[in-house]
Homo-oligomer: A and B are copies of this chain.
């Protein structure tokens, strides 16, 4: 890994402060439901959004803001418990959140990223947000990340944040972020609610390029239940406060370093999201290697982690290799099934499941040992090239059904 881990999540990079509180949208006073992230200086900003035709109002407003500000932002305002989506007054409410934020921070509304997560189709109450805005801004702190990440959690059981410290031009740089997402995760061209911050100096264009490309092999390869959310969004703010010479060119090795760190941060957050999928007891990571191209590798890997039969089999620690083979077989990609090998591993060992498209004889006892761990690795070898990709997901459990059988309560 390039660099080393650092504490602080979204506040790890220089000049970023955050806060979170319960403003009253969530009746549980011990759970934050509103957060703010602020940069001491204006940031170059990039974002990718859900491709679901149903777009949460916050997505529409954030997108518009970034267009108007030409890729600049200085703050994030986000709430949970209510997705502000599919409501007639959605945009008006999202715009209001930006105006309130801008006013209390002394910045422009179009320099605000706005996000909401939670139930779709219930009107967002703006009054609680308005009432808490002053307190929220006054409480901004360079160590406020924990309160912020708590505010964006919904069915998440653990907060997801990380940060990596690295060097560019002899300057210490940091890239950190926080994420939320548990159910309704099947990113397609965009992802869950994720906010990244960095103090690296880099142009908006390169920031967008790096983000869009890195998302393809990380967040876009995450699937908990196959459902692409209406509110998926990932944004990255870069404020340049690390003091490096601004990264302006793709061919620059410093861009390569930056993109590598971005990939590592995104992959970490992705695995955290997979591990905390609704009801999950096990994370599943599927690597497809030996593919002729990246799209093939991604499609095959995702097909396996998405399969309800594979997921429930893993929940039951059942060595039903045929289901893995079946999911590989219906992946919409071009390859020869008769060359496919599959192995399954975990911290308890590794076991061969398939050779040349046929299930091999195996020890049930060994298989059980392997599958009883809480991180299961499926390795698919297409033997058709040299490209590989990973996809992440989790097992399908009774708790998933329980959680989603009555989500709105």
Chain B residue with minimal CB distance to A306? Answer: B226
Judge if A158 is at the interface, Cβ distance under 8 Å.
no
Judge if A3 is at the interface, Cβ distance under 8 Å.
no
User: In angstroms, how far is the closest chain B Cβ from the Cβ of A331?
Assistant: 8
Q: Identify A322's interface contact among B120, B323, B405, CB under 8 A.
A: B120
Most chain B CB atoms below 10 A, which of A319, A326, A337: A326
Which B residues lie within 8 Å of A325 (CB)?
A: 54, 86, 120-121, 230
- Majority secondary structure, A binding face: loop
Judge if A184 is at the interface, Cβ distance under 8 Å.
yes
Q: A120-B322, A309-B184 are in contact. Are A88 and B358 (CB under 8 A)?
A: yes
Complex interface bits, A40-53 against B, C-beta within 8 A gives 1, otherwise 0: 00000000000111
State whether A320 touches B226 (Cβ < 8 A).
no
Which B residues lie within 8 Å of A229 (CB)?
A: 326
In the bound complex, how far is the Cα of B88 from the Cα of A396, in angstroms?
31
Chain A contact residues, CB within 8 Å of chain B: 51-55, 83, 85-88, 119-122, 183-184, 186, 188, 225-230, 306-309, 312-313, 315-316, 318-323, 325-330, 335, 337, 354, 357-359, 396-398, 400-402, 404-408
The 10 A-B residue pairs whose C-beta atoms are closest, nearest first, are: A120-B322, A316-B405, A121-B359, A54-B329, A312-B404, A228-B330, A52-B329, A53-B337, A225-B308, A53-B329
Apart from A54-B325, A226-B307: 19 A-B pairs, beta carbons within 8 A: A53-B329, A53-B335, A54-B329, A86-B322, A86-B325, A119-B320, A120-B359, A186-B330, A225-B309, A226-B306, A227-B307, A230-B325, A230-B326, A308-B396, A315-B401, A318-B405, A397-B401, A398-B398, A398-B402
